[in-house]
Amino acid sequence: MDTAQTAFNPFDPAALADPYPYYRLMRERDPVHWNGPIRAWFLTRHADVAELLRDDRFSADRTLSERYVAPPPGRGRPGKSMLIVDPPDHTRLRNLASKAFTPRMVEQLRPRIEAIASDLVERLARGRQADLIAEFAYPLPVIVIAEMLGVPARDRAQFQEWSSVTVRGLDPFVDAATQKAVFDARAALTAYLRRIIARRRREPAGDLITAMIAAREAGDFLSDGELVAMCSLLLVAGHETTVNLIGNGTLALFRNPDQLERLRREPALIRTAVEELLRWAPPVYWTGRVALEELDLGGRRIAPRQSVFGMLAAANRDPEVFEDPDRLDLGRDPNPHFAFGRGIHFCLGAPLARLEAQVALPMLLERFPDLRLAGEPESRPTVNLRGLARLPVAY
């Protein structure tokens, strides 16, 4: 790969197939890299990504970027979610949802998560091979988040489709047809959630949507648009990411049989194992910020309104921070990876995602002692949310 001659493009097909050698070159030769065609900066060093996520001269509001593509007019301005706003709005929105996602609250979901996982595993056990994504990695987080929110899990086929199209909008460049599909899917998902919210207003239940409606009505803490945006964010974030932790994580174990064996022998390793799988095969590859003013970062001058991408996956392999970074070591500790981001936008759902993986992976390995890869895995088309469309396994 001769990248010295060409601009680094972490999204060209060769780099996508195996981005890590590419990230290493970027980190060594041009760690704060300006990519002309994409019109964005790319950061590959752990320290620079940390700085990006800590410095409030960068905004999380992508709509401020000079490269932002606005949805066509006439669709009604959706509210903004916490993911793309700065304080004080961020603080207000995050506080509203955060009570439901504390480690203590999430721990209470353990029996339910175990029951769902066990049910899926027993269904798998009726056959001898399966697509692990469709039969296990996807349904588990979807059922969990749908139940938490109070969205009927039986509507899954519907919102799964919208959700998977919506997240293509997180990629750095999409063609016009995809961009239109993203806007359409977002509108359909929003309309669907508005119907669910209206129903919960009439028939309150013990779920998160009901709680947020109550909060809205008690103090007008959040606008109608923000309420929908919040539900949409939780629904999408709740099922487009953890599926990849379970899917990428299982594949990582197949590709590193010594570590798979190690986990089978020592199931108590599961906590550090999940962190290491998050570091080594993260579900989210980068996150973006927008410079609010002219500033210096890693020796380069960044202009106002330019987009800066923190490459989480690259930072996770920075040898300055991780010894022997390309090695999967399920006992690695400490493990300051960026799979969940850092700073005020640190993943709200991290305790939930961790618990789901800590339940799912050991259950799978225990029930199927000879679980193995049974064909070529297929990747999903998204390049930011990286995961598998299919993971054929036999057992």
* SS3 state of residue 182: helix
| CA distance readout (Å), 108 to 148, 271, 280 | 12, 18, 29
Radius of gyration of the chain (CA): 21
Binding of residue 82 to ligand HEM (CB under 6 A): yes
Among 45, 80, 345, 380, binds ligand HEM (CB under 6 A): 345
Give DSSP secondary structure letters for 145-156: HHHHHT--GGGH
Binding of residue 364 to ligand HEM (CB under 6 A): no
Cα separation, 166 vs 169, whole angstroms: 6
Find the part of the chain contacting ligand HEM (CB under 6 A) among 120-128, 189-197, 283-291, 293-301.
283-291
Give the nearest residue (CB) to ligand HEM.
349
Contact string (CB under 6 A) for ligand HEM, positions 20-59, x = contact: ----------------------------------------
Binding of residue 190 to ligand HEM (CB under 6 A): no
Among 172, 247, 283, 377, binds ligand HEM (CB under 6 A): 283
* Residue 19 beta carbon to ligand HEM: minimum distance, rounded to whole angstroms: 16
Among 130, 321, 352, 361, binds ligand HEM (CB under 6 A): 352
Find the part of the chain contacting ligand HEM (CB under 6 A) among 21-29, 197-205, 313-321, 336-344.
336-344
Binding of residue 387 to ligand HEM (CB under 6 A): no
Classify burial at 52, counting beta carbons within 10 Å of its beta carbon; exposed 0-12, middle 13-18, buried 19 or more. Answer: buried
Q: Which is nearer to ligand HEM, 152 or 257 (CB)?
A: 152
Strands 392-394 and 372-373, sheet pairing: antiparallel
Binding of residue 116 to ligand HEM (CB under 6 A): no
Cα separation, 8 vs 4, whole angstroms: 8
Find the part of the chain contacting ligand HEM (CB under 6 A) among 3-11, 234-242, 291-299, 366-374.
234-242
Classify burial at 170, counting beta carbons within 10 Å of its beta carbon; exposed 0-12, middle 13-18, buried 19 or more. Answer: buried
Cα separation, 388 vs 133, whole angstroms: 7
**Angle between helices 224-240 and 208-219 in degrees, nearest 10:** 160
302 contacts 14 by C-beta, under 8 angstroms? no
Binding of residue 197 to ligand HEM (CB under 6 A): no
Q: Which residues 6+ apart lie within 8 Å of 346 measured at CB?
A: 340
* Residue 280 beta carbon to ligand HEM: minimum distance, rounded to whole angstroms: 12
Q: Which is nearer to ligand HEM, 350 or 374 (CB)?
A: 350
Q: Please count the residues of this chain forming the interface with ligand HEM, following the rule CB under 6 A.
A: 24
Binding of residue 287 to ligand HEM (CB under 6 A): yes
Among 43, 49, 52, 234, binds ligand HEM (CB under 6 A): 234
* Residue 253 beta carbon to ligand HEM: minimum distance, rounded to whole angstroms: 16
Binding of residue 140 to ligand HEM (CB under 6 A): no
Binding of residue 349 to ligand HEM (CB under 6 A): yes
| Residue 381 DSSP class | S
Cα separation, 118 vs 115, whole angstroms: 5
Q: Which is nearer to ligand HEM, 83 or 189 (CB)?
A: 83
Binding of residue 83 to ligand HEM (CB under 6 A): yes
**Angle between helices 89-98 and 208-219 in degrees, nearest 10:** 130
Binding of residue 286 to ligand HEM (CB under 6 A): no
Binding of residue 79 to ligand HEM (CB under 6 A): no
251 contacts 373 by C-beta, under 8 angstroms? yes
| CA distance readout (Å), 336 to 10, 22, 120, 193, 280 | 23, 22, 32, 36, 12
Among 10, 19, 238, 362, binds ligand HEM (CB under 6 A): 238
Cα separation, 54 vs 385, whole angstroms: 22
- Rounded to 5°, the CA angle 229-167-355 comes to 80
123 contacts 147 by C-beta, under 8 angstroms? no
Binding of residue 15 to ligand HEM (CB under 6 A): no
Find the part of the chain contacting ligand HEM (CB under 6 A) among 22-30, 173-181, 203-211, 233-241.
233-241
Binding site for ligand HEM (CB under 6 A): 60, 82-83, 94, 145, 233-234, 237-238, 241-242, 245, 283-284, 287, 339-341, 345, 347-349, 352-353
